Structure 1
Amino acid sequence: MGGSAFSAILPASALPRIPPAVYQALKARLTPRLQTLYSMVATPYEAPEKADHGDLDLLVCGPSDGAKEVPHATVQTLLRAKYVVPMPGNRTSNYAVPIERGEWALLGHQAEEEAARRCAAEDGQQETYYQVDVHVCLDESEWRRLNFFHGYGDLGIILGLLARSRGLALGSTGFKIQHHPRPPFELTESMDNVVQYMGLSMERWNAGFRTKQEVFEWVGTSSLFDLTRFRTEGPGISKIKPGRKMYAGFVEWVKEQQRHSKMEVAPARSREDEDEQIEHALRYFGKKEAFDALEREEADRVRLKEVFNGNSVRTWVGLRKEEWKELKMIIDEVRRRAGGEAGILKILDERGEDGVKECVLQAAAKLGVL
């Protein structure tokens, strides 16, 4: 059953799984309505061979009247939804749209509709509903990213796994380098650029996939995919979630390819291999200089912190632990006299640790702490 968003309002049986023909008719009916409110409306391509659907996802962007946002009540009225779980900003709001009696029968699914209504009646519900999720995107860039990443079921997750195997990160916010403890370093937000970098054909993606097998074979053409090194289990490999059936299918497809080729899976890539791929990606996207600058800044911060810190200042001046106010005064005075941490770092580079110590003692003397 779908409908988890309405668990506090409706039993799961009131939001039945939706047959493909009914799903397509619902999408065809609601998309034009939302296009009267937003300049961009789309539903990510569905997973191939999907037997049924739990809800209808719609990505929208750009209110048509130029307003900052469209009120939830307006969308609710337009969709003729009875219930709504509203979320502010660029997030997903959920709408429960009543299923008209006989609606499924017109599409050859009378038995399924009757069975769904019986289940709902057993839980005290006289009506059944579609769950329609409307995600309001921040801008066109996000709208395009989400439309790609959530297209064809678990394909975005599979591509993310492929990127992670090379030390990179792909998600709905773009292509990045995981760089702890700092935030991820962005390579590109454009999924067109990501697909090109991964050696895949966007033309083939746009043409559509009729089967999961076609999706898996397309992924297998990526320059980042190495059958001899692609591990499906072991250290560092997360267990497949029960709901990710397409992802699980891809893992089985990889195993079958490995068995068919009678090859032994090579050891996991080393840190050096990942660093080489990261270097390649930085140069490809023209981000090498910016990344190196951040690396230098981080190295400088670490180097400065090793010398100029509370413990070293307390030791040099001879402060007791309870004299924390005096400690802060000295540290602030050194920063002021040197012109900030960049100035202290310059002293460290030119005169070493003794130079920093001398500045600390001078600041303490001026403040009368010595």
Structure 2
Amino acid sequence: MGGNAFAALLSTEAFPRMPPAVYYALKNRLLPQISRLYKHVAVPFEAPEKTTYGDVDFIVAGPLTIMNTQETVDQVNAPHKIVQAAIGAQYANLMDGNRTSNFAVPVDVGEWTMFGHGAEEEEARRLVEDGIIYYQVDINVCTDKEEFERTIFYQAYGDLGMIMGLLARNIGLALGEKGLKLPDPPNPPIELSQSFDEILRFMGWSMDTWKAGFSTKKAVFEWVGSTKFFDPRMFRSHGEGFRKVKADRKMYAEFVQWAEEKNTGAGEKRRKRTEEELQELRNLALVHFNKKIIFNALAQEREQRAGFRQVWNGSRVRDWAELGNHWKGVKLIMDAVRKRLGGEEGVAKFYGKDGEDGIRRVVLEEKKCLSLASDIRDEASVATSTEDGLARGITNLAVV
């Protein structure tokens, strides 16, 4: 329901749900106004079979005006005050950058009458103390055209993007507005693709069908279920995890129930994919998107880096050089090795080529060059003499 963004200022009842005729009239009225402020403007395809709407969502990118002459070329927002005035909003919850701003646009008295919903408007006004009701208009600002197109796709047809994300998660992948990724915890995920054309080809979903639209939720569900990766045994409409779904995500919940019913009809028990199955599917994705070489290279680099940290540290250098607790000597050797091999990165590359034995050899060579054995004995002797002198001084002081 609209109005949640203004809960601290206005009651939820001040934002009545809109009948379809009212919703489409509002969208068509505001679209030209917002198009004067942004180069790219669109409203995602609505979910099929909706009987009411809580708000209108505009996705935009490329401001045609900027805040002031000092703004950089990276400016992504049209001036908030100009936007608010253009759509006739009385209140606004404004966000800078590529985020969503919310606007409360007053409903003119009798406005719904021309659409055959005058009685509903009057009833909505009776529910609020001052009789003033509003439309909630959300404007989601994107950084560039590419993000704009991805957002338009992912937010289309209600919860479809969320449902697609669920299917991807069931095969060990992550799908969102930024595209498809391969999670690799605890490491950063591997980006597979930001192109939804490529992603749909991999998943086995028809882009032509998506573009043609869906007249029913069942048609959406059947399109989702057309992927070769769909397995109704992976879904349930109750239990742990499912309770986390927001109450207003009805279409998402209905899809899970639809999938569960298909499984019930087949008479099969619910199951999870094994780790071996998931690994096979992940490898399939890596090969399809030509990311296998990159993935393996990153894994090898991490393994090498971990081995390097085990070898190249103060404790290991101290042991090789037999310096005991003389950490100053350890630091001198490590600094000398870094200087010789081209810094920390150079040492790491040398380790990758010559391994632990190579690093140890260079450490001992630098120890010899620095003549650390005699220096350390002298340093230890000086330290001992100093400690003896301090002890005698403390004793004499005590006698006095």
Normalising by the residue count of structure 2, what TM-score does the alignment of the two structures yield? 0.82
* CA separation of 1:108 and 1:279: change in aligned 2, threshold 3 A: same
Q: Which residue of 2 aligns with 1:61?
A: 61
- Contact map agreement 2:43 2:58 (CA 8 A) in 1: yes
For residue 254 of structure 2, the aligned residue among 249, 274, 296 is: 249
Report 1:74-93 matches (<5 A): 74-93=82-101
Question: Secondary structure of 2:303's match?
Answer: helix
- Contact map agreement 2:31 2:41 (CA 8 A) in 1: yes
After superposition, the CA RMSD in angstroms is: 2.7
How far apart, CA to CA, are the structure 2 residues paired with 1:115 and 1:332?
79
Is 2:204 the partner of 1:199? yes
For residue 78 of structure 2, the aligned residue among 56, 70, 75 is: 70
| 1:265-293 superposed Cα distances (whole Å, 9 cap, x missing partner) | 4x422222222222222222222222222
Paired amino acid for 1:77: A
Q: Greater Rg, structure 1 or structure 2?
A: 2
Question: Secondary structure of 1:133's match?
Answer: strand
For residue 276 of structure 2, the aligned residue among 272, 275, 283 is: 272
Paired amino acid for 1:309: N
Is 2:174 the partner of 1:169? yes
Q: Which residue of 2 aligns with 1:140?
A: 145
Question: Secondary structure of 1:183's match?
Answer: strand
- Contact map agreement 2:171 2:281 (CA 8 A) in 1: yes
For residue 226 of structure 1, the aligned residue among 189, 214, 231 is: 231
Paired amino acid for 1:357: R
Q: Which residue of 1 aligns with 2:23?
A: 23
How far apart, CA to CA, are the structure 1 residues paired with 2:87 and 2:128?
22
* CA separation of 1:26 and 1:343: change in aligned 2, threshold 3 A: same
Identity %: 46
CA drift of 1:235 comes to: 9.7
For residue 159 of structure 2, the aligned residue among 145, 154, 165 is: 154
Normalising by the residue count of structure 1, what TM-score does the alignment of the two structures yield? 0.88
How far apart, CA to CA, are the structure 1 residues paired with 2:256 and 2:190?
28
Paired amino acid for 1:241: K
CA drift of 1:320 comes to: 5.0
The structure richer in helix per residue is 2
How far apart, CA to CA, are the structure 2 residues paired with 1:344 and 1:238?
50
| 1:142-179 superposed Cα distances (whole Å, 9 cap, x missing partner) | 11111111111111111111111111110011111112
| 1:13-45 superposed Cα distances (whole Å, 9 cap, x missing partner) | 222222222111111110111111212111111
CA drift of 1:60 comes to: 0.7
Question: Secondary structure of 1:242's match?
Answer: coil
Is 2:35 the partner of 1:43? no
Q: Which residue of 1 aligns with 2:8?
A: 8
How far apart, CA to CA, are the structure 2 residues paired with 1:332 and 1:5?
57
For residue 179 of structure 1, the aligned residue among 180, 184, 187 is: 184
How far apart, CA to CA, are the structure 2 residues paired with 1:254 and 1:186?
29
How far apart, CA to CA, are the structure 2 residues paired with 1:173 and 1:197?
16
* CA separation of 1:346 and 1:30: change in aligned 2, threshold 3 A: closer
How far apart, CA to CA, are the structure 2 residues paired with 1:286 and 1:94?
41
Paired amino acid for 1:258: N
Report 1:105-124 matches (<5 A): 105-121=113-129
CA drift of 1:56 comes to: 0.9
Which structure 2 segments of 5+ residues have no match?
A: 67-72, 377-400
Q: Which residue of 1 aligns with 2:311?
A: 307
- Contact map agreement 1:49 1:211 (CA 8 A) in 2: yes
How far apart, CA to CA, are the structure 1 residues paired with 2:215 and 2:15?
27
| 1:106-125 superposed Cα distances (whole Å, 9 cap, x missing partner) | 2122222122212221xxx4
* CA separation of 1:42 and 1:101: change in aligned 2, threshold 3 A: same
Paired amino acid for 1:276: E
- Contact map agreement 1:20 1:52 (CA 8 A) in 2: yes
Is 2:284 the partner of 1:285? no
How far apart, CA to CA, are the structure 1 residues paired with 2:329 and 2:52?
69
* CA separation of 1:302 and 1:52: change in aligned 2, threshold 3 A: same
Which structure 1 segments of 5+ residues have no match?
A: none
- Contact map agreement 1:330 1:367 (CA 8 A) in 2: no
CA drift of 1:329 comes to: 6.2
- Contact map agreement 2:334 2:363 (CA 8 A) in 1: yes
* CA separation of 1:86 and 1:355: change in aligned 2, threshold 3 A: same
Q: Which residue of 1 aligns with 2:347?
A: 344
CA drift of 1:75 comes to: 0.5
- Contact map agreement 1:141 1:190 (CA 8 A) in 2: no
